[in-house]
Amino acid sequence: MRAKQLESDPHYSVGIIGVGNMGGAMAANLLERGWPVAVCDLEADKVNALLALGAKAFANGAAMGLRSDAVIVCVVDAAQTADVLFGANGVASTLAAGKTVLLCPTIAPDDVQRFAARLTALGIHTLDAPMSGGPVRAREGSMSLMLAGPGAVLAAHGKLIADLSNKVFRISERVGDGARTKLVNNLLAGINLVGAAEALAMAQAMGLDLATTLNVIEQSSGQSWIGSDRMQRALVGDYAPRAHVTLLEKDTRLGVQAAQAAGFEGPLGARASAVFAQAHAAGLAQEDDASLFKLLRRKP
């Protein structure tokens, strides 16, 4: 399908590979807005929840690629991305030339560029499209979406992009710059979360009321969105995973590596990354990353 055809057909077929917290929320949002959405995931319950909203299910990416004009990849890491694109029954094996893959995982810029080069060789367009904001914002269409790629491809998918997010940032035409921007953001998110958990653990050690302390922070200079969001959950002992510890563990590690590749070394990034690794080692890997509070309030 050519760009002009896409522009004249605002609800062409969209496939989403990986319908966990973010991918599932994106799918539900698009379905509500009238898009034909196909989904694929290893976890049947996640797929079934979207079938009830009108999605179509496919067993693998290859089957999905035969019937999709744009495919959103929303898996966890580079290994999973490589598998769903180019592995056995990968979507790239059937997606027609001229169609588009949107890469949403937080992965290294070099991996984004490597995947894009392989897709380009097949005649498939790539949009580097990492996202941020959590499942609630993804469901509302208000998450941040960082886009890098050719202007003509962005324009061809303007309606899809607008329905996915009302906070779209067009970074550049260089694939990989979306990933770089996301890693800058997520490294800061990790630093802020470690700082918030440390501050509340400190308040507890000083005998302060934690709810009152957090209320002060949220209305004062120490406020951060991720700190407020996670510590509100921590204060009521809610560690059900919305964002596993392993996600910011991965993202902060990749952020530090990207900084090193650029010849930059800051004072906080590596230290924050080490705290997420420590939480993983302490058995908190599959809990919500609010559990950093549990880690830091423990007495040595």
Fold of 3-174: Rossmann fold (3.40.50)
Largest alpha-carbon pair distance within the chain? 64
Residue 142 pLDDT: 95
> pLDDT-based confidence at 9, cuts 50/70/90?
low
Q: Which helix (H) or strand (E) holds 78?
A: helix 78-86
> Taking a C-beta distance cutoff of 8 angstroms, is the pair 24, 48 a contact?
no
Strand pairing category for 131-132 and 144-148:
antiparallel
Residue 83 pLDDT: 97
CA distance 121 to 123: 5
CA distance 205 to 199: 10
Checking if the pLDDT of 54 tops 60, the result is yes
Burial 222-248 (b: 16+ CB within 10 A, else e): bebebbbbbbebbeeeebebbbbbbbb
Residue 100, CA atoms < 13 Å, CB-side half-sphere: 26
250 is catalytic: no
Q: What's the whole-model pTM score?
A: 0.91
Residue 298 pLDDT: 78
Checking if the pLDDT of 1 tops 50, the result is no
Domain ranges of the chain: 3-174, 181-297
Residue 133 pLDDT: 87
Per mean pLDDT, which range of 2-6, 97-101, 157-161, 188-192 is the poorest?
2-6
Residue 41 pLDDT: 95
Residue 64 phi/psi, 5-degree rounding, is: -65, -40
CATH architecture of structural domain 181-297: Orthogonal Bundle (1.10)
The whole-chain average pLDDT of the chain stands at 94
Q: What is the pLDDT of residues 72-117, one digit of tens each?
A: 999 999 999 999 999 999 999 999 999 999 999 999 999 999 999 9
Checking if the pLDDT of 10 tops 70, the result is no
Point out the catalytic residue in the list 182, 250, 294, 299: 182
> Taking a C-beta distance cutoff of 8 angstroms, is the pair 75, 105 a contact?
yes
Q: What is the pLDDT of residues 233-271, one digit of tens each?
A: 999 999 999 889 999 999 999 999 999 999 999 999 999
CA distance 293 to 102: 35
